[in-house]
Amino acid sequence: MKVKPKIGLISCSGEGLSEGLISRVATRRILEERDDVVTICLPLFIAGGQEERDFARDNPCITVDGCSKMCAAKGVKMYGKVQPKSSIIISEIVEKDSHLKPKSKNKIEPEDEKLVHETMKAITKEIEKVQEKDE
Amino acid sequence: MSEKKKSRCIIIPCSGIGKAVGTVSRRATYIVTNELLPNDTDSICLPLLTIKDKETVRKIRETPCITVDGCIAQCAKKNVEHHKGMLKGEIKILDIIKENPKLKPGTVLDIAADGEKLARKAAEKVVKIMGGNC
């Protein structure tokens, strides 16, 4: 029986923007809740070896980016030579509801929890879509 | 006319999401850039170097950089070296832990009080490096 690969969740974790922290925390919480997802530190695409660069080919990837520069999505294309199965951009979630704009890049403030929750909901929805397609 | 002040040094954490030491590196960077030397330091998103963003590559070639890495993979240092950035110093959180074996960082999402202490010690080392090199 062929074992299905786990879904790769790749967060930008960008340090320069509060949305980068949201991407990191939402991704990490999903990773701790589920056993059908795995991750990789994005900068390992350069710092690691071929095994790290093959991550995106070995695992169908969902990228979680803080801003429109989309480092995670671009990293998957650049090093994995594949398109992410799905891409989530936090700044687009914020655009739909400006009250969700995160306050700090240093720590999750209580008022940022709603955005983390919305991002986790979006990630979960995309995981289910990717799993449905693969069935 | 106001001119944007140029930072003396760019502090770059590793962006690691797999281990608590990655979060300690991130926290150490914010202690330097927000609290200890806010007028002299800046940071960048490391993933911008990974995707070869031209503006970010230019910035690390023109400005002295200090990297703060969580684990032995040393992603921050290797990304800066890959792009021939002006690397003036490097900190490894694992070294700080070796020097302070009683301090155990918590988790990726909550580094706890010991993680915060390690971050402060790493931040102080960054400031020390800056004193001599940047």
Which DSSP string corresponds to chain A? -PPPPPEEEEE---TTSHHHHHHHHHHHHHHHH-SSEE---TTHHHHS-HHHHTHHHHS-EEEEESSTT-HHHHHIIIII-S--SEEEEHHHHHHH-GGG----SSS--GGGHHHHHHHHHHHHHHHHHHHHHH-
Provide the domain limits for residue A91.
7-116
Among chain A residues, CA nearest to B49 = A43
Q: How confident is the model at residue A133 (pLDDT cuts 50, 70, 90)?
A: confident
Of A118, A69, A81, A121, residue with least CA distance to A97: A118
Q: Distance, in angstroms, between A90 CA and closest chain B CA?
A: 15
Domain assignment present for residue A14? The answer is yes
pLDDT at A55: 92
Domain assignment present for residue A58? The answer is yes
Domain assignment present for residue A126? The answer is no
Q: Which residues in chain B are closer than 8 Å to A69, comparing Cβ atoms?
A: 45, 48, 51, 53
What is the ipTM, given to two decimal places? 0.91
pLDDT at B15: 85
pLDDT digit string, tens, across residues A107-121: 999 999 999 999 999
Domain assignment present for residue A132? The answer is no
Contacting B residues, span 30-89, partner chain A, CB-CB under 8 Å: 30, 34, 43-53, 73-76, 78-79, 82
Contact A41 B75 (CB under 8 A): yes
DSSP B38: T
Q: What's the total number of domains in chain A?
A: 1
Give the percent of chain A with pLDDT over 70. 99
Among chain A residues, CA nearest to B10 = A16
Q: Distance, in angstroms, between A76 CA and closest chain B CA?
A: 9
Q: How confident is the model at residue A134 (pLDDT cuts 50, 70, 90)?
A: confident
Domain assignment present for residue A135? The answer is no
For chain B, residues with pLDDT lower than 50 are: 1-3
Domain assignment present for residue A33? The answer is yes
Domain assignment present for residue A97? The answer is yes
Section A54-71 average pLDDT: 94
Contact A15 B13 (CB under 8 A): yes
Question: Three-class SS of residue B94?
Answer: helix
Query: Taking CB atoms and an 8 Å cut-off, how many pairs form between chains A and B?
Result: 98
Contact B34 A17 (CB under 8 A): no
Q: Best residue in A10, A13, A74 to probe B by mutation, most B CBs within 10 Å?
A: A13
The whole-model pTM stands at 0.93
How many Å apart are CA A126 and CA A128, to the nearest integer? 5
Contact B22 A41 (CB under 8 A): yes
Contact A42 B48 (CB under 8 A): no
Q: Which residues in chain A are closer than 8 Å to B51, comparing Cβ atoms?
A: 69, 71, 74-75, 78
Domain assignment present for residue A2? The answer is no
